[in-house]
Amino acid sequence: MKTRAIRTGIIGCGNIGGQVALFLRHNPYFKVTTLTDVSLSQATALRKKFRGARPEIVSLEEALKRNDLVIESACPAVVIEILRSKNLDKRKKKILFMSSGGLIHSLNRISKLKNAEVFIPSGALAGLDAIKAIAGEIESLQLVTTKPAHSLAAAPFVVKNKKNLESMKAAQVIFDGGLSDAVKGFPVNINVAASLFLASRFKKLRIKIVADPEAKFNTHEITCSGKFGVITTKTQNLPSRNPKTSQLAISSALSVLQGMTEKIRIGN
């Protein structure tokens, strides 16, 4: 018997959502039925890339109502809107969040979900399986993220503190603090920090953000220690077409989606 394709809605039709949608377009296990974006022109442009039966452009509520799987690739504010939706938890629905930073202040809402399944890709980080495995045993955890200076210029923390990244001559630590302030100050740049916290649940997570005018990569370094020993990871990711996002983050989302249809799954 042929299995019905998973009805899928894309919320956020920019760089990430576009690449995910076009990947699913050729996958028989999924059927992209709806597109949602605050920019009608952006959603329309993506819709035109489909042949035959094209997805319908709908509201966020309609996307949640119609689909078995919803993929959020918009922004943290949209994550919060999704979690407040009356249509989220009515039946066993799958939802994949790319903007994991939006989940940090909504953990209570997530804990109350009874039917929906939440998926959070590891994104641009390596080693989250190991971090998750020793959660509860961690004594110190630090993330150092280095990005091209220009990709951080519009971050609220940078704007508020009037940091002139364009005149920067050498790499500089522009933020050193905790998760809540990092997510607030860099909402679209530091989803990796939110993902690391969600894997570790370590409340004393320390985050450093480095702006480097010469950087060609988005670099993320994790140092985690406890009685188990020390875990260190370093990823140097090329930015995607959007300099705020690593291409690896998109590949990670595609891997999660592929895993939904596979019988053998490796890792958590």
Calculate what percentage of the chain has a pLDDT beyond 70. 95
Domain extent for 43: 6-120
Do both 114 and 133 map to the same domain? no
Higher model confidence: residue 155 or residue 107? 155
Task: Give domain status of residue 10, yes or no.
Answer: yes
Do both 164 and 102 map to the same domain? no
Do both 31 and 99 map to the same domain? yes
What's the pLDDT at 81? 94
Task: Give domain status of residue 266, yes or no.
Answer: no
pLDDT confidence tier of residue 1, bands split at 50, 70 and 90: very low
What's the pLDDT at 230? 97
**Residue position matching structure tokens 């998750």:** 132
What would the mean pLDDT of 88-96 be, rounded to a whole number?
89
Residues 196-233 have pLDDT tens digits of: 999 999 999 999 999 999 999 999 999 999 999 999 99
Number of domains in the chain: 2
Structure letter (DSSP) for residue 245: S
The residues that are catalytic are 220
Q: Are strands 94-97 and 117-119 parallel, antiparallel or unpaired?
A: parallel
Task: Give domain status of residue 30, yes or no.
Answer: yes
Do both 21 and 58 map to the same domain? yes
**Per-residue CA distances from 33 to 11, 17, 57, 97 (Å):** 11, 14, 9, 18
For residue 65, pLDDT beyond 80: yes
Residues 27-43 have pLDDT tens digits of: 999 999 999 999 999 99
Do both 109 and 166 map to the same domain? no
Task: Give domain status of residue 263, yes or no.
Answer: no
Phi first, then psi, for residue 184 (nearest 5°) are -70, -40
Task: Give domain status of residue 256, yes or no.
Answer: no
CATH code for position 213: 3.30.360.10
**Per-residue CA distances from 145 to 125, 198, 241 (Å):** 10, 17, 19
Angle of helix 40-47 versus helix 15-25 axis, rounded to 10 = 20
- Mean pLDDT for the chain overall: 91
Last residue of a domain, one of 64, 89, 120: 120
Do both 148 and 109 map to the same domain? no
Do both 110 and 173 map to the same domain? no
Do both 179 and 110 map to the same domain? no
pTM of the predicted protein model: 0.88
